[in-house]
Structure 1
């Protein structure tokens, strides 16, 4: 069995309850986005002055490249889907930063806290601890677990 199949299967063991699954469909992408927003908010003046004036020349883009390398090592197909979602998160972070209703880091922190409350509630309903408490890499597997369901639904092998 491929490593990605093992990881998705093990992650799925603590995600059987339909309420917990539904919560994960909202909270996992929200957490992923919020982390992108928090990292986006780290000052990146060095990057702007030496690489480009693009708003995408920031720490979030650099970190997401590393995250995508992890996904590529597991499954090139899933990595492509995660790359698309990552680009969407970068775009949304840029848009939220541009409209300036509040600092992006504050919005991201609020989303992060609310989404984690949802996650822990889902696991309380499930009656099982979150997978990442057993192995930290499951923080990265959660988004891929959701992506693999999308792939199955539309018939893309992962």
Structure 2
């Protein structure tokens, strides 16, 4: 009995409604594959771009703005789903460590150039996936900008389902 109550309760969660709509705009297998590749790439590129913004004052170091954005976004995900929120924290930590290493190894200018390149190429991939050749539907974020945040969680939820984890 509690399983039925839990499943009907979980179907009412806002994250499930977001995912249902997002999934409706991403039914084509090629588009889904492109999203699994491009959405994390875009997420990393945004983190890297924010990393390149100079930190205020002398108390903060490079990456301050990226860290602030990751914290705020992790709270958004955690509020929507604790399991996804914690998973996104792991994603953010790994992306933050990669970005810090790239920044420390190659400098701000190289990181900025790489981030811009990845951002542009990944968005091209996204729009190819949504083209008439594959999905044939507009990207979800064109109807509501919140879908820019839903995309990474949707990709992570696909991994969770593959691993048999609930979110």
Same fold (TM over 0.5): yes
User: What residue in structure 2 maps to residue 14 of structure 1?
Assistant: 25
Counterpart secondary structure, 1:19: helix
Q: Which runs of 4+ in 1 moved over 4 A?
A: none
The structure 2 residue matched to 1:132, chosen from 141, 161, 167, is 141
Question: Are 2:16 and 1:5 aligned?
Answer: yes
The 5 A counterparts of 1:6-155 are 6-46=17-57, 49-50=58-59, 58-100=64-106, 103-124=110-131, 125-155=134-164
Q: What runs of 5+ residues in structure 1 fail to find an aligned partner?
A: none
Measured in 1, the distance between the counterparts of 2:49 and 2:121 equals 14
Measured in 2, the distance between the counterparts of 1:151 and 1:25 equals 13
Cα deviation code 1:99-151 (max 9, x no counterpart): 21752111101100000000000000210000000110000000100111111
RMSD: 1.4
TM-score scaled by structure 2?
Answer: 0.87
Q: What runs of 5+ residues in structure 2 fail to find an aligned partner?
A: 1-11
Q: Which has the higher contact order (CA 8 A, sep 6+)?
A: 1
The structure with more radius of gyration: 2
Measured in 2, the distance between the counterparts of 1:85 and 1:14 equals 24
Counterpart secondary structure, 1:127: coil
**Count of paired positions:** 153
